[in-house]
Amino acid sequence: MQEPAPEDLQRFFKTAKWRFEKCLEPHMACPRKAIRAHSIQNARVFNLLSDKNHVLMFGLHFSKERPKVQLKKIGRNEASTFPGFCAEHDAEIFRALDTKPLDLTDLEQLFLLAYRSVSRELHATMEAAAKIQSAYLGRVERGWDKADEPSDAGVFAVHKMAIAWETWKYRYRTFDNALLSRSFEGIQHDIVQLPVPPSVAASCLFSIDEVPFEDGVLRVSLNILPVSVFHSVAVFSYTKGEAPLARLALSRVLEASGTAQMYELSKLVVERMENFALNPAHVARWSKEKLETIKTEFTATMLMNGIKDDANLMLF
Residue 273 lies in a domain: yes
Torsion angle of alpha carbons 31, 36, 38, 39, nearest 10°?
A: 60
Residue 15 has pLDDT above 70, yes or no: no
Residue 12 has pLDDT above 50, yes or no: no
Output the pLDDT for position 14: 45
Output the pLDDT for position 1: 39
Output the pLDDT for position 159: 84
Angle between helices 107-141 and 6-17 (to 10 degrees): 160
Residue 95 lies in a domain: no
Residue 243 lies in a domain: yes
Residue 140 lies in a domain: no
Grade residue 208 by pLDDT with cuts at 50, 70 and 90: very high
Residue 207 lies in a domain: yes
Ranked by mean pLDDT, the top range of 5-19, 125-139, 180-194 is: 180-194
Grade residue 117 by pLDDT with cuts at 50, 70 and 90: very high
Residue 221 lies in a domain: yes
Output the pLDDT for position 133: 82
Split into its structural domains, the chain has a count of 1
Q: Is the pTM of this model over 0.85?
A: yes
Q: Which domain holds residue 199?
A: 188-313
Output the pLDDT for position 4: 47
